[in-house]
Amino acid sequence: MENFRRATKTDAPLLAGLREKVWKETYEGIYPEEMFHSFDRTLHEKKFHSQITAPDTLVYIAEFDAIPIGYFSFGRPRKKEERPKDLALHSLYLLSSHQGKGIGKRIFRFIRKYGEDHQLTKLYSSCNAHNQSALAFYEKMGGKILFSDVGHENPAEDSIYLEFDIDIEV
């Protein structure tokens, strides 16, 4: 059974390790190989520590039978004063062995419930434009493509931006 638990500062090394593993599974063939070879675990631990301690960001670890299988983070948009009713999905990554089992859908329900509880109306996210499985998932979750930013020399920089209604149950 899956469980979503709020990350603590001591989880930063675990999250950095998950990120490295999930990124390789997700982006191999999309991102340049150099990005995988130059993965700086210490830098990512620091980034996760900053996210975990940020007042407007919530970081969760997805577990299955108490074993970490992914993570997700969400919170208020950076320009929250301009968008007082919005929520931003910063990341959602699951190990490939746990994809296609409804866990991502339950994560979306969890995030949408948070949005409803805080009277928010829209959820925004971005996705690498070449990650077809993630794009299909987001569209299945009700995401509407707002715009694309593609054509960069580095395909890691190509993004699709999506909008979701908080109160839609998928």
Q: Which pLDDT tens digit goes with each residue over 8-24?
A: 999 999 999 999 999 99
Is pLDDT of 151 > 60? yes
What pLDDT does residue 38 have?
A: 86
Query: What pTM was computed for the model?
Result: 0.92
Residue 14, class by beta-carbon neighbours within 10 Å (0-12 exposed, 13-18 middle, 19+ buried)?
middle
Is pLDDT of 1 > 90? no
What pLDDT does residue 32 have?
A: 83
CATH architecture entry for 2-165: 3-Layer(aba) Sandwich (3.40)
Given a contact cutoff of 8 angstroms between Cβ atoms, the answer to whether 75 and 54 are in contact is: yes
Element (H, E) at 34: helix 33-37
What pLDDT does residue 81 have?
A: 56
Mean pLDDT across 148-166: 93
What pLDDT does residue 82 have?
A: 58
What pLDDT does residue 104 have?
A: 95
Better-scored residue on pLDDT, 17 or 36: 17
Best CA proximity match to 93, nearest among 26, 160, 47: 26
